Chains A and B, each alone.
Chain A
Amino acid sequence: AQTVTQSQPEMSVQEAETVTLSCTYDTSESDYYLFWYKQPPSRQMILVIRQEAYKQQNATENRFSVNFQKAAKSFSLKISDSQLGDAAMYFCAYRRGNDMRFGAGTRLTVKP
């Protein structure tokens, strides 16, 4: 079964600085999606960024970007110019068809 591993249960960053959250996954498939979801204290799951595995170019969304290393099965999230509103739980997720897997999450704290 596919698994998703987030090795950092907690991370902290100073406001305005950059932080990288790690994610690795295990799959034998070549076509799939990868996601980062943000869960603030409101509990709502908010999509941060999406990557299609067939695309070599790393996805970016404003201050959020990924480093997708398909051969290494690595999918890290970089948050630039961190803001207080970025404080949340972040989940990495893998999806292929009906199979969607989540990592255990990384709690990000942003220090003013």
Chain B
Amino acid sequence: EAQVTQNPRYLITVTGKKLTVTCSQNMNHEYMSWYRQDPGLGLRQIYYSMNVEVTDKGDVPEGYKVSRKEKRNFPLILESPSPNQTSLYFCASCNQQGPITGELFFGEGSRLTVL
């Protein structure tokens, strides 16, 4: 089954404790991205990656890091989480070659709470 898988789905942590949210897709997509969803703001892009070893900042990259060492994986790293990073996070991927439909495929979301 074609899917984007995020882990963990729920996480409660404390300020300053490093954490990683993993994202993996099995569709051989070149493009992957991370979003955060906050009430009244919709989804905002944190980082994106056009392909392996290529990453770039989105609209709200502060406090986050990413890496793209393999095509299928795109982890989101919070080196020193703060309460303002409490949010719902989505990973998404998209095909950049062949029939390009423009559609993003989303993971199921990761609810992060930073105390």
Stretch at the interface among A11-19, A40-48, A62-70, A72-80: A40-48
Name the residue of chain B whose CB is nearest to the CB of A1. Answer: B59
Q: In the complex, which of the residues A6, A33, A47, A98 contacts B50, with contact meaning CB atoms closer than 8 Å?
A: A98
Contact digits for A37-57, partner B, Cβ 8 Å, 1 yes 0 no: 000001111010010100000
Q: A45-B90, A50-B101 are in contact. Are A103 and B106 (CB under 8 A)?
A: no
Report B49 CB to chain A, min CB distance, Å.
Answer: 10
Whether A44 pairs with B102 at a CB distance below 8 angstroms is no
Question: Interface size class for chain B?
Answer: 20 to 34
**Residues of the A chain whose Cβ atoms lie less than 8 Å from the Cβ of B109:** 43-45
Bound state CA distance, A43 and B108, in angstroms?
7
Contact digits for B10-51, partner A, Cβ 8 Å, 1 yes 0 no: 000000000000000000000101010000111111001010
Question: Interface size class for chain A?
Answer: 20 to 34
Report A26 CB to chain B, min CB distance, Å.
Answer: 15
Report A's interface with B, CB cutoff 8 A: 4, 6, 9, 33, 35, 42-45, 47, 50, 52, 91, 93, 95, 98, 100, 102-105
Q: A43-B108, A43-B109 are in contact. Are A104 and B103 (CB under 8 A)?
A: no
Whether A43 pairs with B41 at a CB distance below 8 angstroms is no
**Residues of the B chain whose Cβ atoms lie less than 8 Å from the Cβ of A33:** 102-103
**Residues of the A chain whose Cβ atoms lie less than 8 Å from the Cβ of B111:** 43
